[in-house]
Chain A
Amino acid sequence: DAKTTQPTSMDCAEGRAANLPCNHSTISGNEYVYWYRQIHSQGPQYIIHGLKNNETNEMASLIITEDRKSSTLILPHATLRDTAVYYCIVRFPWGSGGSNYKLTFGKGTLLTVNP
């Protein structure tokens, strides 16, 4: 099972881009990289996911290196409300019954956006 490594914490100035790195050097060819975040006391919130290509949605961009051993989540214009713990997760199939799977959450990165 691929594991991920993230910095424990990061700071970012409001209005600037926040770049959150993640290492997943043991990722296998069919595993996706997912990003979630969790604002204090709330449920995890899905942000974005990708396999090989860079991805962008209304929340963020995901840059995956060509060898897929690392990725970076980019919040283009961080706001105070983006202060949260950000989780990088590599998804693997698990269990029975079809396409269900388990998400393994590590410790994540606490991003603090400062005014």
Chain B
Amino acid sequence: DAGITQSPRHKVTETGTPVTLRCHQTENHRYMYWYRQDPGHGLRLIHYSYGVKDTDKGEVSDGYSVSRSKTEDFLLTLESATSSQTSVYFCAISGGSGGVSDTQYFGPGTRLTVL
């Protein structure tokens, strides 16, 4: 398995509080992604990064921000958590080797509950 860890693995928080999720990789992959998974919606891309300090929005980016200050860490921040952000969050990485058959590998996930 790719060396991807996510922290925390579980978190319960209250509406309106800030929350930061961390994704850490040991593979030196260039690309990193944040997805959320909800029943009936599958996995949806929130934000992604194509290099240190280079990020872009995904399809469900409202209410989320990201930062990548070094290759191995990609942080997802909920500035003011809402109940609609209760979800399971997955980080993924890919090498970005330039070939069209690049593959994404996923972390174990973080289960976030916003009360």
Q: Which residues of A contact B (CB under 8 A)?
A: 30, 32, 34, 41-46, 49, 51, 93, 95-108
Task: Check if B115 is an interface residue, CB within 8 A of chain A.
Answer: no
Say how far A30's CB is from chain B's closest CB, in angstroms.
Answer: 7
Say whether A43 contacts B45, CB under 8 Å. no
Which segment of B13-21, B51-59, B76-84 sits at the interface? B51-59
The reply to whether A41 and B109 contact each other, CB–CB distance below 8 Å, is yes
At the interface, is chain A mostly helix, strand, loop or mixed? Answer: loop
> Which chain A positions have C-beta within 8 A of B96?
98-100
Report the bound CA distance from A103 to B31 in whole Å.
13
Contact A97:B43 (CB < 8 A) given known A32-B101, A41-B109: no
Q: How far is the CA of A108 from the CA of B39 in the complex (A)?
A: 12
Q: Are B100 and A32 in contact (CB under 8 A)?
A: yes
Known contacts A43-B106, A103-B45, A103-B92, then 15 further A-B pairs from the complex at CB < 8 Å, ordered by chain A residue: A30-B100, A44-B90, A46-B106, A49-B101, A49-B103, A51-B101, A93-B100, A96-B56, A98-B96, A99-B97, A102-B45, A102-B58, A102-B59, A103-B104, A104-B42
